[in-house]
Amino acid sequence: MRIGVLAIQGDYGKHRQMLESLGQEAPLVRTERELKECDGLIVPGGESTTLTILLQKHGLWDPLHAFGRRKAIFGTCAGLILLSREVRDHKLASLNLIDLEVERNAYGRQIDSFIDRVRLDLRGTPGSMEGVFIRAPRIIACGMEVTPLGWHHEEVVAAENEHIMVSTFHPELTESTLLHRHFLTKVSRFLHD
């Protein structure tokens, strides 16, 4: 499998390291041609407004939307904002690939960032991991076709639909490979359909 990592902004290098530690080919994606060569894609965190502008500048907005209709994408933090249906507190364009309503920077400024345990249920497999929340968004509402995967206290902080998986926190900044492994399983399902 080739799991691309969108490499136009954010800490894409950590996602790439995580995938390579799992034995996956993880090319960096900056062009439509590179995107087309991937079986799945990770959209890392960063700054959501800047990410939107750069995707349009690089001619990746429409190709990324089309990719997410056919193949699996995992968006973390700003990546989640970009993939969601609606951004409540900002008139930010989104790709509307997962039926979530989100709020940007919901926990406060950079100084309010924190690390805490996240409870997981990955399609019947319970677990937990450390969650690194950096100017994190909050999931306000999940649509009917969205399955929660992770919770911080009682708030949903990770979720998925058929093609898209998201987390409000940064799993790539931890030792845990649980979410990345779950994403690889998701990608492999599309390869065998």
Q: Would you name the residues annotated as active-site residues?
A: 77, 170, 172
Residues contacting 66, CB < 8 A, separation 6+: none
Backbone CA torsion sign across 113, 114, 119, 125: positive
**How far is CA 193 from its chain centroid?**
23
Q: Determine contact, residues 44/79, Cβ cutoff 8 Å.
A: yes
Rama region for 23: left / alpha / beta (φ>0; ψ in -120 to 50; rest): left
DSSP string, 67-102: HHHHSEEEEETHHHHHHEEEETTS-------EEEEE
Amino acid at 29: V
